[in-house]
Amino acid sequence: MTALDRTMRDLRTFASDIGQGFFEITHNGFALVGLATVFCVLALTARPDLREAGEARLMTWLQARQMSALGMQIELDAIDRATAANPHDLPKQQAAVAFWLSKKYRVAPEPLSALVAEAYDIGERVKLDPTLILAVMAVESGFNPFAQSPVGAQGLMQVMTKVHSDKYENFGGKLAAFDPVSNLRVGVKVLQECIQRAGSLSAGLRYYVGAANLPEDGGYADKVLAEHARLQQVAAGRRVPVAQPPQPAPLRTIAPAPAVPLPAEDKVATL
Q: What is the pLDDT of residues 95-134, one digit of tens each?
A: 999 999 999 999 999 999 999 999 999 999 999 999 999 9
pLDDT at 32: 52
By C-alpha distance, which of 150, 144, 156 is closest to 254?
150
Is the pLDDT score of 237 beyond 90? yes
Mean pLDDT of 241-265: 47
CA distance 183 to 111: 14
Mean pLDDT of 209-220: 91
Is the pLDDT score of 166 beyond 80? yes
CA distance 229 to 130: 12
CB atoms inside a 10 Å sphere around CB 250: 15
pLDDT at 135: 97
Least confident of 31-35, 114-118, 175-179: 31-35
Is the pLDDT score of 145 beyond 50? yes
CA distance 252 to 128: 22
Q: For CA atoms 205, 209, 212, 218, give the dihedral sign.
A: negative
Question: Domain 87-266 carries which CATH code?
Answer: 1.10.530
> Is the bond preceding 245 in cis, omega lying within 30 degrees of 0?
yes
pLDDT at 72: 67
- Binned at pLDDT 50, 70 and 90, residue 213 comes out as confident
- % pLDDT > 90, the chain: 57
CB 255 within 8 A of CB 244: no
pLDDT at 103: 96
Name, of 27-31, 131-135, 247-251, the range with top average pLDDT. 131-135
Mean pLDDT of 178-196: 96
By C-alpha distance, which of 213, 237, 217 is closest to 225?
217
CB atoms inside a 10 Å sphere around CB 60: 10
The CATH 1.10.530 portion of the chain extends over 87-266
CB atoms inside a 10 Å sphere around CB 78: 9
Is the pLDDT score of 251 beyond 90? no
- Binned at pLDDT 50, 70 and 90, residue 82 comes out as confident
By C-alpha distance, which of 220, 179, 182 is closest to 203?
220
- Binned at pLDDT 50, 70 and 90, residue 80 comes out as confident
CA distance 52 to 22: 38
pLDDT at 267: 33
User: What distance lies between CA 104 and its chain's CA centroid?
Assistant: 22
Q: How far is CA 197 from CA 65, 139, 203, 264, in A?
A: 59, 22, 9, 12
pTM of whole model > 0.85?
no
Helices (H) and strands (E) in the chain, counts: 8, 2
Mean pLDDT of 159-183: 94
Mean pLDDT of 72-92: 83
By C-alpha distance, which of 114, 167, 171, 174 is closest to 143?
114
CB 206 within 8 A of CB 221: yes
Least confident of 30-34, 158-162, 167-171, 211-215: 30-34
Mean pLDDT of the chain: 80
